[in-house]
Amino acid sequence: MGNVDTALMIGSSSKNVADASRLCLEDGGSDGKFILSTSCDLPIETPSSNLVEFVASVSKSTIM
């Protein structure tokens, strides 16, 4: 299980969230047994655009 920093999810652009998610998938997901997650929790203040990019990064990933 890997993580995208919660602070990034709250206070960064959706592009940065997508980039961080992609890097987590590349680093840990080469065998297809990786769960993309946040580093801790997912605060209610998280912009919906960041959550959309976080989830979409899995669909866009070529690692499986």
pLDDT on residue 62? 73
pLDDT on residue 27? 85
Q: With contact defined as beta carbons under 8 Å apart, do 37 and 3 qualify?
A: yes
The residue extents of the domains of the chain are 2-60
Each residue of 7-54: pLDDT tens digit?
A: 999 999 999 999 999 998 888 877 777 888 999 889 999 999 999 999
* Six-digit token string for 12: 């960064």
Number of alpha carbons in the 13 Å side-chain half-sphere of residue 42: 12
